[in-house]
Amino acid sequence: MADGAPFSMLAEFETPEALIDAVKRTRAEGYRALDAFTPFPVEGLAEILDLRDRRVPWLGLIGAGLGFAVAVAMQVFTNFDYPLNVGGRPLYPLSAFAVITFELTILFSALAAGFGMLYLNGLPRLHHPVFSATRFHLASKDRFFLCIKADDPRFREADTARFLREIGANTVELVPS
């Protein structure tokens, strides 16, 4: 977006039920770039908002595979460089590699999922445009906010504000980027 362009339209609601109803009506109206801010988890809101990003579990799986490969390769190459032939045991005993392999698989999986989640969420982000909204501080106390982003194809400043007032928003505010 260009400088001076709006980031979103932010609507305030008093109850979680009013927010859920507003999100349903906003979806039915054709808006798709939506977000909601609530002081506590609201059951069913994520499904209505259609949050389907499944990249973090895949990053965890990729990290686990990489951890497994690194652990096995590290132990195999160590045994290749420093072979210990004790009692006729195999040079590459996979059962002896199990503990280190398990530990590195879990470690890499957790690190990949954790850092992947931070990256995909754009964190650490010290300031978000909605923080500049005048009443947004109430999102952590007792109010519920619906955000329609300006990059939504249906977003028209006047029409979107009118629509949000029609569906019962207490306040409607344009959030600059």
Establish if 152 belongs to a structural domain.
yes
**108 shares its domain with 146:** no
**15 shares its domain with 36:** yes
Residue 86 has pLDDT above 70, yes or no: yes
Question: What percent of the chain is predicted at pLDDT more than 70?
Answer: 98
Establish if 1 belongs to a structural domain.
no
Question: Which residue, among 42, 13, 28, 31, has the nearest Cα to 149 in the 3D structure?
Answer: 31
How many H helices and E strands in the chain? 5, 4
Task: Name the packing angle between helices 98-120 and 55-81 (round to 10°).
Answer: 140
pLDDT in tens, 90-141: 888 888 899 999 999 999 999 999 999 999 999 998 888 999 999 999 999 9
Question: Which residue, among 170, 174, 160, has the nearest Cα to 30 in the 3D structure?
Answer: 160
pTM: 0.75
pLDDT in tens, 4-51: 789 999 999 999 999 999 999 999 999 999 999 999 999 999 999 988
Establish if 135 belongs to a structural domain.
yes
Residue where a domain stops, chosen among 120, 140, 168 = 120
Domain that holds residue 92: 56-120
**111 shares its domain with 76:** yes
Residue where a domain stops, chosen among 77, 102, 120 = 120
Are 76 and 93 spatial neighbours (Cβ–Cβ below 8 Å)? no
CATH number at residue 143: 3.30.70
**99 shares its domain with 134:** no
In order of 116, 129, 132, the CA distances from 53 in angstroms are: 12, 22, 27
pLDDT in tens, 135-163: 999 999 999 999 999 999 999 999 999 99
How far is it, in rounded angstroms, from Cα 146 to Cα 176?
15
Are 65 and 106 spatial neighbours (Cβ–Cβ below 8 Å)? no
How far is it, in rounded angstroms, from Cα 154 to Cα 27?
11
**28 shares its domain with 69:** no
Helix, strand, coil percentages in the chain from 3-state DSSP, rounded to 5: 50, 15, 35
Establish if 73 belongs to a structural domain.
yes
How far is it, in rounded angstroms, from Cα 170 to Cα 24?
17
Domains in the chain, number: 2
In order of 6, 123, 135, the CA distances from 128 in angstroms are: 13, 11, 14
Establish if 105 belongs to a structural domain.
yes
